[in-house]
Chain A
Amino acid sequence: MIARNRALMAALERILRAIGVACLLAVMAIVFCDVGARYLMNAPFPWSYELIGMYLMPAMFYFAVSDTLAADHHIAVDLLRPAMPPWLARGVEVLGGLAMAGVFSVIVWLFASSSLEKWASGAVVMGAVEWPSWIPDAIVALGSAVIALRLLGRAVGHALSLVTGKALIALPARVEDH
């Protein structure tokens, strides 16, 4: 069961990060074309500023934040880690992971409800285009839900490792291990 959940998490993160990469490259391409169209033809895209700021930027962060954690790419202060006994390192992982999962869960709750509310009321931001405002909130809620699950799974894994004394889940492999 653990293996199946883990595979499901990884698949979710793979999909979201692929969307994140697409957003990143889209920002590059849109700004490139926007500037070109403005300079050469005096015809910039009126929608690019809002599309990038409102939709693509949050998507780049929230669709990547969990995958970044899975890859241990979130920078941490690693001065003391090598000197810590495994039980302490796992204890920190459990407590820190649960606390952060809590923060992200609050974010999920806040943004899922505001997204539903905005969707139901048909709220739009009036710019060059009428931008539905439930979409950014849904992006935040979805990305936060995935990382909250990832953090929770890790905390449980470390807690079980502590209790059973078996290394069911590895400690984060950060730069000093290479």
Chain B
Amino acid sequence: QTSLRVADSLPVGHFFAEQGLKFWIAEVRRQTNNAVEVQHFPAEQLGKAKDMFQLAMTGVADIAYVVPSYVSDKMPLMTVSELPGLASTSCQGTRAFMKLVRGGVLDKQELAPNGFVVLFGAILEPYQVYATRKIESLESINGMKLRTAGAAQGATIKALGGVPVNMAAPDTYESLSRGTIDGVVFPTASLLAYDLPSRLKGATQDVSFGTVLISYGISQKKFLSLPENVRQAMLSAGDAAANNVCTFLDNGVAANRAKIAAAGVSFTRLGEADTKKLAGIAATVQKDWAAALDKRGKPGTEVLEAYVDALK
């Protein structure tokens, strides 16, 4: 009988815990004839999002939630998954990511040296720009103050003449109402969770301003201490869970978008010229990301190329 403590910072009932973690737990238990017991500590009960990796490494938790952008000093290469203009659906990005962490370049270059094993992870749908004004074209973004998260999103918005603003997600509702910001760069699910559609008028559709990777992992030390059959089950359940959560996400986008549209937000598909322009900006952001890592002696270009390859 193996007992594991799982920690994350997601709110109770968050879709990722429901569709990813709970699915994974059930699958592991099924494959091992209930030989694994899991105690779940959600909602920052054991620490904040940026603490989670450390909690797993110190054994406070056995399995912890890891979002690369929160631990970019420990896992800079993992943030490749959050760059703009890459995956166009959750499942496309998720499958590529899972390849790179199962013995691929991310495993070799970053996870193994850190002593960490990713059990499963999923890349959210591509983030869109949502604004308090209609978006006719990329030109509309010029001069807009947009709440962004992470360096890559910020660089993309800046290249379009927008003004990236740092702000806690819960502050966005009031800030949009009062015009402190003109919009947000968000996935549909967060937009609904923070109740923002009623504050918004326009949105982009089917492009990528970057995204976020959510994963659960375990320290190598703990992993290797587990029985062989449990380890096998954890990895194969991980593949299934990643698949389950990305499918859930991709299936949900249309319904979420309909809800958002029903609240009065009009979605705009960019014209051909704009689509090309955005792709060019995204490519520059990707290259800059890789170059910055290369300069610090990390294989940024190698990882970017491997990820782009895996997306095909």
A and B, one complex? yes
Residues of chain A having any CB pair with chain B under 8 Å: 38, 42-44, 46, 48-50, 118, 122-128, 130, 133
Residues of chain B having any CB pair with chain A under 8 Å: 69, 72-74, 76, 79, 143, 145, 150-151, 154, 163-166, 292, 296-297
Closest chain B residue to A37, Cβ basis: B163
Among B74, B163, B296, B297, the residue within 8 A (CB) of A44 is B163
Among B73, B79, B145, B166, the residue within 8 A (CB) of A124 is B73
Cα(A124)–Cα(B151), bound, Å: 13
Cα(A50)–Cα(B154), bound, Å: 13
Residues from chain A with Cβ under 8 Å of B145 in the complex: 38, 42, 44
Residues from chain A with Cβ under 8 Å of B151 in the complex: 126-128
The 6 A-B residue pairs with the shortest CB-CB distance in the complex, in nearest-first order: A49-B166, A133-B73, A123-B73, A126-B72, A125-B73, A42-B163
Residues from chain A with Cβ under 8 Å of B297 in the complex: 122
Closest chain B residue to A35, Cβ basis: B180
What would 12 A/B residue contacts be, using CB atoms closer than 8 Å? A42-B145, A44-B165, A46-B166, A50-B166, A122-B296, A124-B72, A124-B73, A126-B69, A126-B292, A127-B72, A127-B150, A128-B151
Among B76, B154, B165, the residue within 8 A (CB) of A38 is B165
Residues from chain A with Cβ under 8 Å of B69 in the complex: 126
Min CB gap B153→A, angstroms: 11
Q: B163, A118: Cβ atoms under 8 Å?
A: no
Cα(A49)–Cα(B164), bound, Å: 12
Cα(A118)–Cα(B79), bound, Å: 19
Q: B164, A46: Cβ atoms under 8 Å?
A: yes
Residues from chain B with Cβ under 8 Å of A122 in the complex: 296-297
Question: Which of A43, A44, A50 has the most chain B CB atoms inside 10 A of its CB?
Answer: A44
Residues from chain B with Cβ under 8 Å of A124 in the complex: 72-73, 76, 296
Cα(A78)–Cα(B79), bound, Å: 51
Q: B143, A42: Cβ atoms under 8 Å?
A: yes
Closest chain A residue to B163, Cβ basis: A42
Given contacts A42-B143, A49-B166, 20 further A-B contacts (CB under 8 A): A42-B145, A43-B163, A44-B163, A44-B165, A46-B154, A46-B164, A48-B166, A50-B166, A118-B73, A122-B296, A123-B73, A123-B74, A125-B73, A126-B69, A126-B72, A126-B76, A126-B292, A127-B150, A130-B292, A133-B73
Min CB gap B5→A, angstroms: 20
Residues from chain B with Cβ under 8 Å of A44 in the complex: 145, 163, 165
Residues from chain B with Cβ under 8 Å of A42 in the complex: 143, 145, 163
